[in-house]
Amino acid sequence: MNKPVLECNGIAAGYVKGLNILQGVDLVINEKEIVSIIGPNGAGKSTLLKAIMGIINISAGRFFINGVEKTDTSTHKIVEQGVAYVPQVENVFPSLTIEENIEIGSWTVNKNKKETISQTLEQFSLLKDRRKEKAGNLSGGQRQILALARALVTSPSLLLLDEPSAGLSPVAIEEVFETVKEINDKGVAILLVEQNAKRALNFSNRGYVLDQGRNAYQGQGDELLNDPRVVDLYLGKL
């Protein structure tokens, strides 16, 4: 049985002291899994990712990376523990080249940095062929793939993705999800926040439904897709 890469116990957090958006969230993601977090706007989905990454403070609860508690650990230390994060917006530097974006992502790589950057570009032929172009010239889907490549340069064991399909065309969404699946096939666990709940659950091994900062439901992706309570409240009537 695969071991937990990430385990969250009773996480409470928010952006203003004394006003928590997360009200005690529990979550586990095991090695090589794809796990989705779905729920209505304001449920705390993106907030949970930011809390894990140390971007906002956790006021209660604990979380563990590979069995070691990392609550209140600084962001750069979380990255060094093998966790990568792709935020929903402003996830590339448009004035820098594709190659420079990946170089920035490699700041925790201490050995063979140039080789690691080159190997990362080799995985994405589109980026390799345009490595000297400004990232601002890329389409929305191409920027998302660049953001994924920059996250992968650190060879993470867990990748946190916040709304990777937001604002993209249907064709670009397919390309991004294919890339995410390829990343998972190479052994990287994926924790995915996605507004398109049906797509996310179809794509995932398991899912969590958050509502008002708390766990509402959890289970296998296909089970949640066919759970009448989840369909009525969160997916719309099928």
Task: Report the alpha-carbon distance of residue 163 to residue 86 in Å, rounded.
Answer: 9
DSSP the chain: -PPEEEEEEEEEE-SBTTB-SEEEEEEEEETT-EEEEE-STTSSHHHHHHHHTTSS-EEEEEEEETTEE-TT--HHHHHHTTEEEE-SSS-S-TTSBHHHHHHHHTTT--SSHHHHHHHHHHT-HHHHHTTTSBGGGS-HHHHHHHHHHHHHTT--SEEEEE-TTTT--HHHHHHHHHHHHHHHHTT-EEEEE-S-HHHHHHH-SEEEEEETTEEEEEEEHHHHHT-HHHIIIII---
Residue-averaged pLDDT of the chain:
91
Q: What percent of the chain has pLDDT over 90?
A: 66
CATH of the domain at 99: 3.40.50.300
Predicted confidence band of residue 238 (pLDDT cuts 50, 70, 90): very low
Residue 160 near residue 152 (C-beta atoms within 8 A): no
Per-residue pLDDT, 2: 77
Q: What does the pLDDT average to over 185-208?
A: 92
- Between 18 and 237, the more confident residue is 18
pLDDT score recorded for residue 230 = 87
| Token representation of residue 152 | 């992968």
**In total, how many domains does the chain have?**
1
Report the pLDDT averaged over residues 151-162. 93
pLDDT in tens, 170-182: 898 899 999 999 9
Q: What is the extent of the structural domain holding 119?
A: 4-235
Please write the tens of the pLDDT for every residue from 203-218: 999 999 999 999 999 9
62 pLDDT above the threshold of 60: yes
Q: What is the pTM of this model?
A: 0.92
pLDDT at residue 51, rounded to an integer: 96
pLDDT digits (tens, 9 = 90+) for 113-133: 888 888 888 888 889 889 999
234 pLDDT more than 80: no
d(CA 123, CA 231): 38
pLDDT (0 to 100) of residue 114: 86
* Residue 1 pLDDT: 60
Rounded distance between C-alpha atoms, residue 153 and residue 121, angstroms: 9
Confidence of residue 236 (pLDDT cuts 50, 70, 90): low
